[in-house]
Structure 1
Amino acid sequence: MANVLKYFKENQEILDLYTTAITRAHKEHHPEVFGVKKIYTAIQDKIQSSITDTINLDLEFTELRKLTNNYAIPTDVCPTFVATYHMLEQADHIYEEI
C-alpha cells in the first residue's frame, strides 16, 4: 500500500495538472475524462484524509478500468491524455501488487 501512496504523492502535481488539462482539451469528444478526473480526485481525497497507510482503492481502480476500457488510448488524443492514462494505469498496477 505504501508504494501506491508514494506514487500518488510523488505524481500529484502533474496528475492534478494533467487530469484538469484533458477535461478542457477533450471534453467534447471524450466526456469520460470528467469521470477520470472525479475518480482521481476521490483517490487524492482518500489519501489526504487517511491517518494510516491502509487505504482501500479497489472501487476507484475498478471504476477507472471500466471508464477507460482498461486504460485504452483513443487515437485522437494529445500526449497529455496518453501520459495521464499511463500514469493512472501504473498506479493501478502498483496497487494490484499489494
Structure 2
Amino acid sequence: MKGKKSAAASLMIVLSALGFWLSVGYYHSYIDHEDNLVYFLKRRLTLRREFVNPFANEGNPLPTNELSPAVRKELSDFCKYAYGMTDGDEKSLESCRKQAIREVQ
C-alpha cells in the first residue's frame, strides 16, 4: 500500500511539472542594463519554454515591416503562444507589437 501511495505521489509530481513546462514560457527583458526573465502563461501548450520578444528592451522599437525574416518569425511564435494570435499577417503582427511594447513599459 505504501508503494502505491509513493508511486501515485511521484506521478502527480511528474504530471504537475509537465503541466508547468507546457503552460509557462519566458523571455529575456533588457531594461535598465539588467537582464530579467519575464514569465507568462502560454495560450497554447508547447514544449518550447524560451521565446524572444524583440521589443523587450530600451531601444526604439522598429515597425514589424522593418524586422528581418528571422526576427519576424520569432515575434510570430511569441505572439502565438503569449497572446494566442493565430494569423502571422502584417496587421496581426503590428497589433501584437503594440501589446508587447505596452507590457514592457
Bigger Rg over Cα: 2
Q: If each structure's helix is expressed as a fraction of its own residues, which one has the higher value?
A: 1
Higher percent of residues as strand: 2
TM-score (norm 2): 0.28
TM-score, normalization by structure 1: 0.29
Between 1 and 2, higher relative CO (CA 8 Å, sep ≥ 6) is seen in 1
